[in-house]
Structure 1
Amino acid sequence: MATPAIFSRIENPWKQNPWFEAVAVAQERARKRLPKPVYGALVAGSERGQTIADNQAAFTELGLAPHVAGHRADRTMATSVMGQEISLPVIMSPTGVQAVHPDGEVAVARAAAARGTVIGLSNFASKSVEEVVAANPQTFFQMYWTGDRDTMVQRMQRAHAAGAQGLIATLDWSFSMGRDWGSPEIPEKVDLKTMVRMAPQVALRPRWLWQFGRTGTIPDLTAPNLSPPDGGPAPTFFGAYYEWMTTPPPSWDDVAWMRETWDQISGRPFMLKGVCRVDDALRAVDCGVAAISVSNHGGNNLDGTPASIRVLKPVADAVGGQVEVVMDGGIRRGSDVVKALAMGARAVMIGRAYLWGLAANGQAGVENVLDVLRSGIDSALLGMGVQSIDELGPELLVVPEGFHRPLGVPASS
């Protein structure tokens, strides 16, 4: 679509200092910029929001044990996840359709590449895996258990052909449509009728409208990574959701099949995302996964699940060094990252934090979020007198009694 002349001749009338010093500031700018239902889709969790609240509150219960002298002048936070060398222990979690900005996942991929880290790309994304890998070769492709096995094989083959360096499987999605505050409206597609109906809400956020007008695009609510191999049209978000709803949930044999199939296709690592229990973590090890993500999917899954940071250490202790462990859920500052690493995570994944940066200032906003986290990590390492994230351990934390939630611990443990 060509850029309308009216937009091509107008400079941004809302231009302001684009830099922000905290993720909370990015969130506030996103709130002011985005139409209410779009922002609501970013911040809302499932049902009463108990899990999304605990994801953040749990970090406030943990303290740090600083040193008064003997600090290290040189500090490093580089690590690797599933064979990918990264400059800081933060990677981009796969999230669904990113219509908060015209460039969507491509902007996130470029930002991650500029800061030396990995992007996880959802198969519900609004940009294709080919576009995203071109923007950042360090891309992990994420799949839900949707469709039949032949369809899933085709999607794995496409991701491998595009250059994806790993596969992330999300298999436990059980999102409840019931939200105590109501679910934000997500249209099936953005057409003239939809634009007219939602015009009053969009008109209240002219900066967001101007941004899309400048690029000559409209928010894309299709899922190009779910396009059929015959070149047919990509399904809408709700079409993809229907496919998931009508696919029988997977067994552990299915998990093993998925891991083995990806290995046969690509020979590249496989991560199982959504692990909260020790017994599930041990089963994942038996299935041959390279990594697990301790995650409750940002509070968007089964409400009442404990915060990810509460279940992290029991899981990490149980699997030892058999697989890599990452964590996501509630990360808002560098000290949160350090707490997760001290509990046994190799790295963390962020979701809402980078989406707020994307909404606030596109690619530069995502880079800003990563810079904020990097600075916070470095400050925490300095204060605790350690030179590397490899030196972090639970002895550097102040952990209240009863903080950990060891779920599904085998009786013999």
Structure 2
Amino acid sequence: MPRNPWFETIAEAQRRARKRLPYAVYGALLAGSERGSTVADNVGAFAELGFAPRVAGHHAVRDLRTSVLGMDSALPVLISPTGVQAVHPDGELAVARAAAARGLIMGLSSFASQPVETIVAANPNTAFQIYWSGGRDTIVQRMERARAAGCRALIVTLDWSFSEGRDWGSPAIPDRVDLRTMLRMTPDVLPHPGWLWRFARAGRIPDLTTPNMRRPDGGVPTFFGAYREWRESIPPTWEDIGWLVRQWDGPLLLKGVSRVDDARRAVDAGVTAVSVSNHGGNNLDTTPATIRLLPSIAAAVGDQIEVLLDGGIRRGGDVAKALALGARAVLIGRAYLWGLAANGQAGVENVLDILRGGLDSAVLGLGHATPAALSPDDLVIPDGFTRSPGTAPL
């Protein structure tokens, strides 16, 4: 571990994660699909937007609080649900505790390595993420388990995807960790003794099962077993989404919208919110960066439902830019996973503090008292920056 476990930037958290994690683990976090064009654009597009700061009339006190999906949040930042978090033995539990300590909403993946009951106990403001996987009866069973555990919102993820492969090769992720697997992965793991020591000290090995994907027969699939179930499921229709909204009967976020017409259909289906998302660049490659798609979607439906964004957030300034272009809040994924790899729960809290500081600086410099006051007038937006697929009449 570095002599000083605190880091100043999320880029530094990523450098530490890369140094600490075995290649297969780090590679699973880093890469997007195919050539990686979308994941690169998710990050790079934020740098194309400039700020237009003010020089007087600043507010000495800023209030960064908001509410999302019926829950109060200390920042317009949510923890995006990510699957099996083998970067640290505490996994999702450390993330949930960090989010609770900073007053933020926890998104928990169906593919998590920790059961939903454990996570809600650590952070009551938890939104459970569900895939359209298995039949309706199976989906309802998982949804009702989340409701019984105390989850306050549902995230339906539909942006994970149908593309195949990575040009640089996909990391070798085992179906389960047993003695044979450990022997095979020894050359990759031994150069990273800190990662191995954390698991040894915790008295456990990386858990690749998915307890929240428990089948009606009681079986608990491995990550790839759950993935196969999803791949073999018939994709949902808009009627299915409306049915799920009625079954949940509470705040529901539809994650994965990248078209204006899909956003409008989501409104018709009765969702509470949509997230402009391309699954962090792991959907169809060459899908534009989400920040390019956000303005047209926010303009189309932002007065009817909450519009969120995920993809490419690495700084508090990125959060400010998303809010200025119409997002109510953002979701973060890789950023907190790098913090988790760098320093466990404290590392996640470190990442959240970095985002808070950067957002506060942007709100201050742009002359506002709250993030809600941010607007396109606060930005320098280059010609041709935005993309607006799905704007043709239905």
The interval holding the TM-score normalised by the smaller chain is over 0.9
- Which digits, 9 at most, give the CA deviation of each residue in 1:25-44, with x for residues without a partner? 00000000000110000000
**SS state of the match for residue 261, structure 1?**
helix
Distance 1:132 1:175 in 2: 30
Find 2:171's aligned residue among 184, 204, 213: 184
Residue 305 (str. 1) matches residue 250 (str. 2): no
- Which digits, 9 at most, give the CA deviation of each residue in 1:305-351, with x for residues without a partner? 00000000100000031000110000000000000000000000000
Identity percentage over the alignment?
67
Find 2:248's aligned residue among 254, 262, 273: 262
**SS state of the match for residue 78, structure 2?**
strand
Distance 2:162 2:118 in 1: 29
1:5 is matched with: none
1:320 is matched with: 302
CA positional deviation for 1:174? 1.5
**SS state of the match for residue 335, structure 1?**
helix
- Which digits, 9 at most, give the CA deviation of each residue in 1:199-258, with x for residues without a partner? 11100100000000000000000000011345x341001100110111011111111111
CA positional deviation for 1:262? 1.0
1:164 is matched with: 151
Distance 1:320 1:36 in 2: 41
Distance 1:63 1:235 in 2: 46
Find 2:127's aligned residue among 140, 145, 159: 140
**SS state of the match for residue 133, structure 1?**
helix
8 Å CA contact 2:119–2:126 kept in 1: the answer is: yes
Question: What amino acid maps onto 1:327 in structure 2?
Answer: L
8 Å CA contact 1:314–1:405 kept in 2: the answer is: yes
Distance 1:411 1:187 in 2: 46
Find 1:368's aligned residue among 350, 362, 378: 350
Superposition map of 1:383-398 within 5 A:
383-398=365-380
8 Å CA contact 2:32–2:39 kept in 1: the answer is: yes
1:252 is matched with: 238
2:325 is matched with: 343
1:101 is matched with: 88
2:141 is matched with: 154
8 Å CA contact 1:101–1:212 kept in 2: the answer is: yes
Residue 409 (str. 1) matches residue 391 (str. 2): yes
CA positional deviation for 1:16? 2.3
1:3 is matched with: none
CA positional deviation for 1:15? 5.7
CA positional deviation for 1:173? 2.1
8 Å CA contact 1:175–1:300 kept in 2: the answer is: no
- Which digits, 9 at most, give the CA deviation of each residue in 1:348-377, with x for residues without a partner? 000000000000000000000000000000
Superposition map of 1:350-361 within 5 A:
350-361=332-343
Superposition map of 1:196-345 within 5 A:
196-230=183-217, 232-263=218-249, 268-345=250-327
Distance 2:183 2:334 in 1: 28
Distance 1:411 1:283 in 2: 12
CA positional deviation for 1:23? 0.3
Distance 2:78 2:302 in 1: 22
Distance 2:131 2:158 in 1: 6
Distance 1:207 1:124 in 2: 25
Distance 1:332 1:405 in 2: 21
8 Å CA contact 2:159–2:278 kept in 1: the answer is: no
Find 1:50's aligned residue among 11, 28, 37: 37
8 Å CA contact 2:57–2:367 kept in 1: the answer is: yes
Distance 2:230 2:186 in 1: 31
**SS state of the match for residue 309, structure 2?**
strand
Distance 2:329 2:39 in 1: 20
CA positional deviation for 1:138? 0.4
Instruction: Provide the TM-score with structure 2 as the length reference.
Output: 0.99
Runs of at least 5 residues in structure 1 that lack an aligned partner in the other structure: 1-13
**SS state of the match for residue 330, structure 2?**
strand
CA positional deviation for 1:177? 3.2
**Over 6 Å off, 4+ runs:** none
Distance 1:229 1:180 in 2: 38
Distance 2:2 2:69 in 1: 40
Distance 1:115 1:396 in 2: 27
